[in-house]
Amino acid sequence: MIDDVISDSKQRMQKSLDALKHELAKIRTGRAHPSLLEHVTVKYYGTETALNHAASINVTDARTLSVTPFDKSMVGDIEKAIRDSDLGLNPATVGETIRVPLPSLTEERRKEMIKIVRHEAEQARVAVRNIRRDANQTLKDLTKEKEITEDDERRAEDRVQKLTDENISAIDKLLEQKEQDLMEV
């Protein structure tokens, strides 16, 4: 029973960590990366489709992405979807390929991005702490129902705390890496 609580907590904390990684990947560091365009959607035969399902996205150089639609008639729609996204990018079409140059980040924009990154990291920490709280509450309930002893509860709470500390330290490490990436000129 205790192992179920611990393994459930571990899985949920891992999901929080994965969600943070996914969110941080969307935040642009000035370097080209295909994941920057992951959340851009384009109308493809009447339905909203993720851009990476309608086109191949490649890195041309450190500051340029190239997008090649699978359907050549989609070039204009894809270019418009990228331009209208919240990324502030200005794509240019060259034949059947769309080039997406990434502007360099200003100092002010870098500081804004760091605030966003720190906010995302704090949300992940809160999620991990909430999972710890839920696990501890479950353990208390099990003790109250006499399914586990108080000693077992204390040992299990220590394991949950250790798990929480590991995940929060992993979040801090991700935050530190992203801040360094953002501050690189």
The 10s digit of each residue's pLDDT in 134-177 is 999 999 999 999 999 999 999 999 999 999 999 999 999 999 99
| Block residue for tokens 């003790």 | 143
Domain boundary among 67, 84, 101: 101
Q: Which of the four pLDDT bands, split at 50, 70 and 90, describes residue 185?
A: low
Per the structure, the count of domains in the chain is 2
Domain span including residue 71: 34-101
Note the pLDDT tens digit of each residue in 20-52: 998 888 776 667 778 778 778 888 778 888 888
Closest CA relative to residue 116, chosen from 171, 179, 167: 179
DSSP state of 33: -
pTM of the model: 0.68
CATH of the domain at 175: 1.10.132.20
Whether residue 116 is found in the same domain as residue 169: yes
Instruction: Say if residue 55 is exposed, middle or buried (CB neighbours under 10 Å; 0-12, 13-18, 19+).
Output: buried
Distance CA 154, CA 135 (A): 12
Domain boundary among 81, 101, 121: 101
pLDDT exceeds cutoff 80 at 105 = no
